[in-house]
């Protein structure tokens, strides 16, 4: 009886191996570090927690006190970060290992999410410092807190996502160019989708004109309001 042999995968090159390692580290960070932070924050606070998984965040809170107490924006940001980005990182790792083309799309989503998360973590504090001259970052003025905890521990989630975005952009653009050259129009939106887009835009335009222009000018009839 003949046995069906599986086609062996091509060996990962150095870049793919590095990306695979990144996604595994990223998944571990989201699932085993940030998810416990969310749980502690929603049940008590990091500063009050006694479980060993809070030790990391108690130390990090010395550099950014928002992580030690319940800070609504920080916790709200970490909920989707831990719940969504963790599993998605594992999926991307799978895609890299088995050379699945869909991983370029999902790594784009993931990388944009990582960059947005970094901005929403530090952006508000930078704006507060610019506008009002105050910030919660590095309250003790410790170089370890500033450059190791705040800078180095977070810049990794900026540099690598940017590199992956560049890779995804090049790969997806090349694939789209090839599809257009071969007239593969089946992948484009159809008439029903185009109609839905125009309907949505038209509705938005009417509502915008009514409530952003006519209403402030007092030109809407009383019955509409």
pTM for the model stands at 0.86
CB 40 within 8 A of CB 74: no
- Hey, where are the domains in the chain? 14-188, 189-225
Residue keyed to tokens 């006190």: 65
Those residues whose C-beta lies under 8 Å from the C-beta of residue 89, and which sit 6 or more positions away, are 23, 24, 26, 27, 30, 110
Angle between the N-to-C axes of helices 86-97 and 14-29, in degrees from 0 to 180, rounded to the nearest 10: 160
How do residues 39-56 score in pLDDT, each as one tens digit?
999 999 999 999 999 999
> What string of H, E and C letters represents the secondary structure of 104-138?
HHHHHHHHHHHHHHHHHHHHHHHHHHHHHCCCCCC
How do residues 158-172 score in pLDDT, each as one tens digit?
999 999 999 999 999
pLDDT per residue rounded down to tens, the chain (225 residues): 444 454 446 799 999 999 999 999 999 999 999 999 999 999 999 999 999 999 999 999 999 999 999 999 999 999 999 999 999 999 999 999 999 999 999 999 999 999 999 999 999 999 999 999 999 999 999 999 999 999 999 999 999 999 999 999 999 999 988 888 777 666 678 889 999 999 999 999 999 999 899 988 888 876 666
CB 138 within 8 A of CB 145: yes
Dist CA 206 CA 178 (whole Å): 39
């Amino acid at each position: 009886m003949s046995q069906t042999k599986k086609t062996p995968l091509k060996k990962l090159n150095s870049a793919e191996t590095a990306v695979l390692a990144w996604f595994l580290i990223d998944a571990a960070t989201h699932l085993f570090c940030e998810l416990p932070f969310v749980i502690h924050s929603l049940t008590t606070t990091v500063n009050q927690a006694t479980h060993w998984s809070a030790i990391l965040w108690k130390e990090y809170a010395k550099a950014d006190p928002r992580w030690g107490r319940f800070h609504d924006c920080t916790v709200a940001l970490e909920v989707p970060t831990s719940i969504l980005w963790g599993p998605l990182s594992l999926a991307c790792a799978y895609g890299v290992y088995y050379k699945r083309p869909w991983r370029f799309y999902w790594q784009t989503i993931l990388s944009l999410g990582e960059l947005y998360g970094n901005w929403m973590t530090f952006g508000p504090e930078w704006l507060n410092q610019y506008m009002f001259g105050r910030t919660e970052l590095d309250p003790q003025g410790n170089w370890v807190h500033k450059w190791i905890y705040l800078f180095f521990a977070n810049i990794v989630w900026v540099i690598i996502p940017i590199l992956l975005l560049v890779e995804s952009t090049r790969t997806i653009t090349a694939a789209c160019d090839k599809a257009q050259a071969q007239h593969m129009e089946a992948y484009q939106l159809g008439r029903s989708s185009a109609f839905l887009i125009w309907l949505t835009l038209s509705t938005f335009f009417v509502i915008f004109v009514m409530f952003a222009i006519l209403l402030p000018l007092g030109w809407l009839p009383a019955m509409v309001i």
